[in-house]
Amino acid sequence: MLFNFLLTFPLFLLALVIHEYAHGWVANKLGDPTAKHFGRLTFNPLAHIDPVGTIMLPIFLLFVHSPVVFGWAKPVPINYSFLKNPKADMFWVGIAGPFANFLMAIFLSLVLKIPVFAGLAVLKIVLSQIAIINIILAVFNLLPIQPLDGSRVLYSILPQKIASLYMKLESFGMIILLGLLWLGVMDKFIWPVAVSLINLLGL
């Protein structure tokens, strides 16, 4: 398992970088330059690595034989008060990361259909793995549980009173997320959706 992790970690990190860059890029376009000022509008992975979430936690979960292995990048700083329409723009900032991952997967699925790749087995495997990791990351982040992107998307479309109550759950979000993952939400929701998308793209 550790060997597989070492092989897939660079691909996972690439997907995280694309994801976080998209959040910062959209926020910047909508009036919030915070990510740009902090040097986060870059594809340099070193700017996005969270020592705990990107490296230590996944390795720890592997060694304790956890049924779920996951991690995260350093969140791109967003100051929603700088956005032109904070509540509505939160939708676009939130959806940007998963959308960028989906776009990358679609692009790679099209590249893999080019005949020249037919005889390049190793490259096909690598590109397929990158696409699959991007799909899984996107689907996972669309769960409407704080601090995942899906919670920002849901907040932006809820009536203000309900949205305010919903955001009060944020301090419990990680506990809820870990509990759901431990109870098998990956098997019941994320994997079925991800596999359907993977099959749809011919991966």
Residue from 78, 117, 119 nearest 96 by CA: 78
Catalytic residue among 20, 32, 89, 149: 20
Going by C-alpha positions, the residue among 148, 131, 115 that lies closest to residue 203 is: 131
Active site residue 170: no
Q: Find, among 156, 149, 26, the residue nearest to 94 by Cα.
A: 149
Phi, psi (5° rounding) for residue 114? -70, 130
Cα 50 to Cα 5, 168, 194: the distances in Å are 17, 25, 25
Residue positions annotated with a catalytic role: 20
